[in-house]
Protein backbone atom coordinates (compact mmCIF):
# COMPACT_ATOMS: atom_id res chain seq x y z
CA UNK A 1 0.00 0.00 0.00
CA UNK A 2 1.39 3.40 -0.94
CA UNK A 3 1.85 6.11 1.68
CA UNK A 4 -0.15 9.22 0.89
CA UNK A 5 1.25 11.38 3.69
CA UNK A 6 4.26 11.12 5.98
CA UNK A 7 4.49 13.44 8.98
CA UNK A 8 7.92 14.34 10.35
CA UNK A 9 7.66 15.32 14.01
CA UNK A 10 4.81 13.84 16.04
CA UNK A 11 4.34 16.54 18.65
CA UNK A 12 1.40 18.84 19.30
CA UNK A 13 1.36 19.90 15.62
CA UNK A 14 2.32 16.75 13.77
CA UNK A 15 0.19 14.20 15.63
CA UNK A 16 -3.10 16.10 15.14
CA UNK A 17 -2.22 16.43 11.45
CA UNK A 18 -1.60 12.69 11.18
CA UNK A 19 -4.89 11.99 12.96
CA UNK A 20 -6.78 14.32 10.61
CA UNK A 21 -5.19 12.60 7.61
CA UNK A 22 -6.38 9.25 8.91
CA UNK A 23 -9.87 10.66 9.48
CA UNK A 24 -9.88 11.90 5.88
CA UNK A 25 -9.09 8.42 4.63
CA UNK A 26 -5.43 8.98 3.74
CA UNK A 27 -2.79 6.34 4.38
CA UNK A 28 -0.39 7.96 6.81
CA UNK A 29 2.87 7.26 8.62
CA UNK A 30 4.82 9.30 11.16
CA UNK A 31 8.51 9.73 11.84
CA UNK A 32 9.97 11.03 15.10
CA UNK A 33 13.46 10.81 16.57
CA UNK A 34 12.06 10.31 20.09
CA UNK A 35 11.96 6.57 20.65
CA UNK A 36 9.71 6.92 23.69
CA UNK A 37 7.11 8.87 21.70
CA UNK A 38 7.17 6.32 18.91
CA UNK A 39 6.94 3.36 21.31
CA UNK A 40 3.96 4.97 23.00
CA UNK A 41 2.11 5.55 19.73
CA UNK A 42 2.88 2.04 18.53
CA UNK A 43 1.44 0.84 21.83
CA UNK A 44 -1.71 2.90 21.35
CA UNK A 45 -0.78 5.62 23.85
CA UNK A 46 -0.93 9.36 23.23
CA UNK A 47 1.53 11.88 24.67
CA UNK A 48 -0.54 14.89 23.51
CA UNK A 49 -3.30 16.37 25.65
CA UNK A 50 -5.66 17.03 22.75
CA UNK A 51 -5.40 13.45 21.48
CA UNK A 52 -6.62 10.53 23.57
CA UNK A 53 -5.46 6.94 23.53
CA UNK A 54 -8.68 6.02 21.74
CA UNK A 55 -7.77 8.44 18.96
CA UNK A 56 -4.40 6.73 18.54
CA UNK A 57 -6.17 3.38 18.45
CA UNK A 58 -8.43 4.64 15.66
CA UNK A 59 -5.40 5.94 13.76
CA UNK A 60 -3.69 2.56 14.02
CA UNK A 61 -6.85 0.82 12.89
CA UNK A 62 -6.76 3.07 9.83
CA UNK A 63 -3.21 1.91 9.10
CA UNK A 64 -1.11 4.62 10.79
CA UNK A 65 2.33 3.61 11.94
CA UNK A 66 5.04 5.60 13.73
CA UNK A 67 8.75 4.93 13.42
CA UNK A 68 12.15 6.32 14.36
CA UNK A 69 13.41 4.96 11.03
CA UNK A 70 13.35 7.73 8.38
CA UNK A 71 13.03 5.04 5.70
CA UNK A 72 9.26 5.24 6.27
CA UNK A 73 9.37 8.52 4.36
CA UNK A 74 10.41 6.83 1.13
CA UNK A 75 7.67 6.75 -1.47
CA UNK A 76 5.29 9.09 0.36
CA UNK A 77 3.26 11.30 -1.96
CA UNK A 78 3.38 14.16 0.58
CA UNK A 79 5.84 14.81 3.41
CA UNK A 80 4.89 17.38 6.04
CA UNK A 81 7.58 18.72 8.39
CA UNK A 82 6.21 19.64 11.82
CA UNK A 83 9.26 19.91 14.04
CA UNK A 84 9.72 22.58 16.75
CA UNK A 85 11.59 25.82 16.14
CA UNK A 86 12.55 27.18 19.55
CA UNK A 87 15.29 29.29 21.06
CA UNK A 88 18.85 28.57 22.10
CA UNK A 89 19.85 28.96 25.79
CA UNK A 90 20.99 32.46 24.80
CA UNK A 91 17.51 33.31 23.52
CA UNK A 92 18.41 33.22 19.83
CA UNK A 93 16.46 31.38 17.08
CA UNK A 94 17.30 27.69 16.95
CA UNK A 95 16.67 26.14 13.53
CA UNK A 96 18.70 22.98 14.19
CA UNK A 97 15.67 20.65 14.55
CA UNK A 98 14.24 21.98 11.27
CA UNK A 99 17.58 21.69 9.47
CA UNK A 100 18.01 18.11 10.68
CA UNK A 101 14.48 17.18 9.59
CA UNK A 102 14.93 18.73 6.14
CA UNK A 103 18.22 16.89 5.62
CA UNK A 104 16.48 13.64 6.56
CA UNK A 105 13.67 14.29 4.10
CA UNK A 106 16.19 15.19 1.39
CA UNK A 107 17.88 11.80 1.68
CA UNK A 108 14.57 10.06 0.93
CA UNK A 109 13.12 12.57 -1.52
CA UNK A 110 11.70 11.18 -4.75
CA UNK A 111 10.45 12.88 -7.91
CA UNK A 112 6.87 14.10 -7.71
CA UNK A 113 6.80 14.40 -3.91
CA UNK A 114 5.14 17.36 -2.22
CA UNK A 115 7.23 18.61 0.72
CA UNK A 116 5.41 21.01 3.01
CA UNK A 117 6.95 22.82 5.98
CA UNK A 118 4.64 23.78 8.85
CA UNK A 119 7.31 24.81 11.38
CA UNK A 120 7.32 28.52 12.20
CA UNK A 121 10.35 30.52 11.10
CA UNK A 122 11.36 33.90 9.73
CA UNK A 123 10.43 35.03 6.21
CA UNK A 124 12.78 33.52 3.67
CA UNK A 125 13.35 30.22 5.48
CA UNK A 126 11.63 28.05 2.88
CA UNK A 127 13.46 29.49 -0.12
CA UNK A 128 16.82 30.38 1.40
CA UNK A 129 17.36 27.47 3.81
CA UNK A 130 14.94 24.59 3.19
CA UNK A 131 15.05 24.61 -0.61
CA UNK A 132 18.86 24.36 -1.00
CA UNK A 133 18.98 21.48 1.48
CA UNK A 134 16.26 19.58 -0.38
CA UNK A 135 17.95 20.22 -3.71
CA UNK A 136 21.35 19.00 -2.49
CA UNK A 137 20.84 15.54 -3.98
CA UNK A 138 20.00 16.74 -7.48
CA UNK A 139 16.22 17.18 -7.57
CA UNK A 140 14.90 20.69 -8.23
CA UNK A 141 11.94 22.33 -6.49
CA UNK A 142 9.19 23.31 -8.90
CA UNK A 143 10.54 20.90 -11.50
CA UNK A 144 11.20 17.51 -9.91
CA UNK A 145 9.33 17.93 -6.63
CA UNK A 146 6.91 20.41 -5.09
CA UNK A 147 7.90 22.63 -2.15
CA UNK A 148 5.34 24.41 -0.01
CA UNK A 149 4.99 26.28 3.25
CA UNK A 150 1.83 26.19 5.37
CA UNK A 151 2.22 27.58 8.90
CA UNK A 152 0.69 25.53 11.67
CA UNK A 153 -2.13 27.21 13.57
CA UNK A 154 -2.75 24.62 16.26
CA UNK A 155 -4.22 26.08 19.46
CA UNK A 156 -3.92 23.31 22.09
CA UNK A 157 -7.11 22.86 24.07
CA UNK A 158 -9.26 24.93 21.71
CA UNK A 159 -12.31 22.82 20.87
CA UNK A 160 -13.98 25.46 18.73
CA UNK A 161 -11.15 26.13 16.31
CA UNK A 162 -9.56 22.81 15.44
CA UNK A 163 -7.13 21.87 12.69
CA UNK A 164 -10.10 21.22 10.41
CA UNK A 165 -12.12 24.37 11.17
CA UNK A 166 -9.23 26.87 11.27
CA UNK A 167 -8.48 28.39 7.82
CA UNK A 168 -5.20 27.00 6.44
CA UNK A 169 -2.74 29.37 4.80
CA UNK A 170 -0.74 27.64 2.07
CA UNK A 171 2.01 28.78 -0.29
CA UNK A 172 4.48 27.32 -2.75
CA UNK A 173 7.86 27.94 -4.30
CA UNK A 174 6.02 28.14 -7.61
CA UNK A 175 2.38 28.57 -8.58
CA UNK A 176 2.19 24.86 -9.36
CA UNK A 177 3.71 23.98 -5.97
CA UNK A 178 1.04 26.11 -4.28
CA UNK A 179 -1.69 24.33 -6.24
CA UNK A 180 -0.43 20.94 -5.12
CA UNK A 181 -0.29 22.14 -1.52
CA UNK A 182 -3.82 23.56 -1.72
CA UNK A 183 -5.11 20.29 -3.19
CA UNK A 184 -3.55 18.33 -0.34
CA UNK A 185 -4.86 20.52 2.48
CA UNK A 186 -8.33 20.81 0.93
CA UNK A 187 -8.73 17.14 1.87
CA UNK A 188 -8.05 17.99 5.53
CA UNK A 189 -9.53 21.41 6.31
CA UNK A 190 -12.68 23.39 5.58
CA UNK A 191 -10.96 26.46 4.11
CA UNK A 192 -7.65 26.96 2.32
CA UNK A 193 -6.15 30.44 1.87
CA UNK A 194 -3.43 30.68 -0.79
CA UNK A 195 -0.70 33.24 -0.08
CA UNK A 196 1.19 35.10 -2.79
CA UNK A 197 4.39 33.27 -1.87
CA UNK A 198 6.23 31.43 0.88
CA UNK A 199 7.65 34.62 2.42
CA UNK A 200 4.14 36.08 2.73
CA UNK A 201 2.91 32.92 4.44
CA UNK A 202 5.90 32.86 6.78
CA UNK A 203 5.42 36.52 7.67
CA UNK A 204 1.68 36.04 8.20
CA UNK A 205 2.30 33.41 10.89
CA UNK A 206 4.85 35.50 12.74
CA UNK A 207 2.67 38.61 12.49
CA UNK A 208 -0.27 36.74 14.03
CA UNK A 209 1.78 35.93 17.12
CA UNK A 210 3.62 39.27 17.18
CA UNK A 211 0.19 40.93 17.37
CA UNK A 212 -0.58 39.00 20.54
CA UNK A 213 2.93 39.59 21.90
CA UNK A 214 2.64 43.37 21.52
CA UNK A 215 -0.89 43.57 22.91
CA UNK A 216 -0.04 41.40 25.91
CA UNK A 217 2.86 43.76 26.59
CA UNK A 218 0.54 46.77 26.28
CA UNK A 219 -2.01 45.47 28.78
CA UNK A 220 0.77 44.44 31.17
CA UNK A 221 2.33 47.88 31.07
CA UNK A 222 -1.11 49.41 31.59
CA UNK A 223 -1.54 47.15 34.62
CA UNK A 224 1.77 48.32 36.09
CA UNK A 225 0.76 51.95 35.58
CA UNK A 226 -2.71 51.41 37.06
CA UNK A 227 -1.22 49.72 40.10
CA UNK A 228 1.09 52.66 40.65
CA UNK A 229 -1.63 55.33 40.45
CA UNK A 230 -4.46 53.41 42.12
CA UNK A 231 -6.64 52.50 39.15
CA UNK A 232 -8.46 49.13 39.00
CA UNK A 233 -7.12 47.56 35.79
CA UNK A 234 -9.69 44.77 35.90
CA UNK A 235 -12.54 47.24 35.92
CA UNK A 236 -10.83 49.17 33.14
CA UNK A 237 -10.75 46.04 31.01
CA UNK A 238 -14.33 45.12 31.90
CA UNK A 239 -15.53 48.48 30.68
CA UNK A 240 -13.32 48.65 27.60
CA UNK A 241 -14.38 45.17 26.55
CA UNK A 242 -18.00 46.32 26.14
CA UNK A 243 -17.03 48.20 22.97
CA UNK A 244 -18.27 46.00 20.12
CA UNK A 245 -15.64 47.17 17.62
CA UNK A 246 -12.02 48.33 17.52
CA UNK A 247 -10.95 46.68 20.78
CA UNK A 248 -9.78 43.18 21.68
CA UNK A 249 -9.34 42.46 25.36
CA UNK A 250 -6.06 41.00 26.64
CA UNK A 251 -5.40 40.15 30.28
CA UNK A 252 -2.32 41.12 32.34
CA UNK A 253 -0.15 38.43 33.88
CA UNK A 254 3.45 37.40 34.54
CA UNK A 255 4.48 37.80 30.90
CA UNK A 256 4.04 35.38 28.00
CA UNK A 257 4.26 31.61 27.84
CA UNK A 258 3.51 28.67 25.60
CA UNK A 259 5.17 27.27 22.52
CA UNK A 260 4.80 30.23 20.16
CA UNK A 261 4.15 33.70 21.60
CA UNK A 262 7.48 34.13 23.46
CA UNK A 263 9.43 32.66 20.53
CA UNK A 264 8.11 33.78 17.14
CA UNK A 265 8.74 37.53 17.55
CA UNK A 266 12.39 36.73 18.36
CA UNK A 267 12.72 35.07 14.95
CA UNK A 268 11.40 38.17 13.21
CA UNK A 269 13.55 40.54 15.25
CA UNK A 270 16.71 38.51 14.63
CA UNK A 271 16.11 38.19 10.90
CA UNK A 272 15.22 41.88 10.53
CA UNK A 273 18.40 42.85 12.39
CA UNK A 274 20.45 40.80 9.92
CA UNK A 275 18.78 42.80 7.15
CA UNK A 276 19.50 46.12 8.82
CA UNK A 277 15.99 46.77 10.15
CA UNK A 278 14.92 47.26 13.77
CA UNK A 279 11.45 46.35 15.03
CA UNK A 280 11.19 49.01 17.73
CA UNK A 281 7.69 47.92 18.76
CA UNK A 282 8.75 44.32 19.35
CA UNK A 283 11.83 45.46 21.24
CA UNK A 284 9.74 47.65 23.54
CA UNK A 285 7.26 44.81 24.06
CA UNK A 286 10.06 42.42 24.99
CA UNK A 287 11.41 44.86 27.59
CA UNK A 288 7.97 45.10 29.22
CA UNK A 289 7.35 41.35 29.18
CA UNK A 290 10.80 40.47 30.50
CA UNK A 291 10.14 42.70 33.52
CA UNK A 292 6.73 41.22 34.38
CA UNK A 293 7.81 38.16 36.41
CA UNK A 294 9.68 40.40 38.87
CA UNK A 295 6.73 42.79 39.01
CA UNK A 296 4.25 40.00 39.77
CA UNK A 297 6.54 38.52 42.42
CA UNK A 298 6.91 41.97 43.97
CA UNK A 299 3.15 42.48 44.04
CA UNK A 300 2.67 39.09 45.71
CA UNK A 301 5.28 39.99 48.33
CA UNK A 302 3.64 43.35 49.02
CA UNK A 303 0.21 41.77 49.41
CA UNK A 304 1.56 39.18 51.83
CA UNK A 305 3.27 41.83 53.91
CA UNK A 306 0.09 43.93 53.94
CA UNK A 307 -1.80 40.88 55.21
CA UNK A 308 0.72 40.37 58.02
CA UNK A 309 2.35 37.32 56.44
CA UNK A 310 6.05 36.57 56.22
CA UNK A 311 6.82 36.09 52.49
CA UNK A 312 9.71 33.75 53.33
CA UNK A 313 7.32 31.38 55.10
CA UNK A 314 4.25 31.82 52.89
CA UNK A 315 2.89 29.08 50.67
CA UNK A 316 0.83 29.80 47.57
pLDDT tens digit sequence for 188-199: 999 999 999 999
Residue 43 φ then ψ, to 5°: -95, 5
Q: What is the pLDDT along the chain (316 residues), one digit of tens a residue?
A: 689 999 999 999 999 999 999 999 999 999 999 999 999 999 999 999 999 999 999 999 999 999 999 999 999 999 999 999 999 999 899 999 999 999 999 999 999 999 999 999 999 999 999 999 999 999 999 999 999 999 999 998 898 999 999 999 999 999 999 999 999 999 999 999 999 999 999 999 999 999 999 999 999 999 999 999 999 999 999 999 999 999 999 999 999 988 889 999 999 999 999 999 999 999 999 999 999 999 999 988 988 998 888 888 887 6
DSSP letter assigned to residue 91: S
Q: What's the pLDDT score for residue 191?
A: 98
Give yes or no: 239 in active site.
no
For the chain, report the end-to-end CA distance as a whole number of angstroms: 56
What are the start-end ranges of the E strands in the chain? 5-8, 28-31, 65-67, 78-81, 86-87, 93-94, 114-117, 146-149, 168-172, 192-194
Q: Please state which CATH number belongs to domain 5-195.
A: 3.40.50.720
Asked if residue 171 lies in contact with residue 194, where contact means CB atoms within 8 angstroms, the answer is yes
**DSSP line for 217-257:** HHHHHHHHHHHHHT--HHHHHHHHTT-SSS-------SS--
Helices 198-229 & 233-240 angle (0-180, nearest 10): 130
Alpha carbons 115 and 77: distance in angstroms, whole number: 9
Tens of pLDDT, residues 101-124: 999 999 999 999 999 999 999 999
pTM above 0.85, yes or no: yes
Q: The CATH number of 204-306 is which of 3.40.50.300, 3.40.50.150, 1.20.1250.20, 1.10.1040.10?
A: 1.10.1040.10
Q: Is 137 helix (H, G, I), strand (E, B) or coil?
A: helix
Going by C-beta distance under 8 Å and a sequence separation of 6 or more, which residues neighbour residue 80? 5, 6, 7, 8, 14, 17, 116, 117, 118
Q: Which of 22, 82, 116, 260 is catalytic?
A: 260
Amino acid sequence: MCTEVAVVGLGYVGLPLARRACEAGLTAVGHDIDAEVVAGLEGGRSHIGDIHDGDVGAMRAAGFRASTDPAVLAGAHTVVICVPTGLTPAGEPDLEPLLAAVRTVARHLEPGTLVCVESTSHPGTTEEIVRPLLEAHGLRAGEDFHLAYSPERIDPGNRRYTLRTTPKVVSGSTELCAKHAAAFYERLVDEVVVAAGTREAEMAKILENAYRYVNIALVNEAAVYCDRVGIDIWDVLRCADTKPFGFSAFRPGPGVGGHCIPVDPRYLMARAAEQGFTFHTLGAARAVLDAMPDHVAGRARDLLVAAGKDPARARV
